[in-house]
Amino acid sequence: MINKRLGYASIAALLLVVIAGCGDKPAAAPVNEGGIATPAVVSGAGNNTDNSDNTAPEEVVQDVENTPEPTPESSNPATSEPSPTPSPSAAVEKQSQSIEVYYTDNQQMDLVAAQAKISFTSDLEKYTEAYKALQTSEKQDQVSLWGKIELKSLKVEDGQVIIDIHKPEEAQLGAGGEAMAISALTKTFFQFEEVKSLDVLVDGQQVESLMGHVDLEHPITRESASE
């Protein structure tokens, strides 16, 4: 009787072992189209997962406040407008002034003063017009001593007027005529208070004498001209 019970117990234990072994048997791997079985992966940890593989990436937060906004490009680029043409009324008005101009008489015996009216917009133009007035005379008894002498250029520097002339042969005068010509020039220019000195050049050169008779100073000052 006892032997039968032990035999039953042994059979029951063997069945439990067999049943337990069947429960842990891996499932058959599915067969793919090529006939090769793909091994099935059985997780022995049940629902437990590896946290290292599923770590969420850190969020990248953009600083919106400190990010400069893109500047929109203008579809219509600005174009420079042409400068308006000044109207004639905006031009500088000329001044008029009556001056004394010096000539000689028909016999070249003495200087004769005459009135002339000049118009100008600057000192440079004023002195140029004064020289032109010396070259022409409206009266027959007033002869110009500078009519045949060409004015090449005229400059103004710190109260000094620099005249560059060209003197042809027909403009040559005697000693008396040369002295009066220099006097007529200095009297005409020194009536302008701002003119302190006058320098006369011949073809750009400082010469000792204008016509070979009278010494020519460089420059002629207001004081030396009055002597």
Res. 189: pLDDT tops 50: yes
- Which helix (H) or strand (E) element contains residue 201? strand 197-202
pTM over 0.75: no
- Condensed to tens digits (0 to 9), the pLDDT of residues 117-139 reads 999 999 999 999 999 999 999 89
- Condensed to tens digits (0 to 9), the pLDDT of residues 61-116 reads 444 445 555 555 544 545 556 665 655 545 678 999 999 999 999 988 999 999 99
**Rounded-to-integer distance, Cα 221 and Cα 226, Å:** 9
| Amino acid in the structure at residue 127 | Y
Q: Are strands 220-221 and 160-166 parallel, antiparallel or unpaired?
A: unpaired
**Torsion angle in degrees (nearest 10) through CA of 18, 24, 25, 28:** 150
Residues 6+ apart with CB under 8 A from 90: none
**Rounded-to-integer distance, Cα 39 and Cα 36, Å:** 9
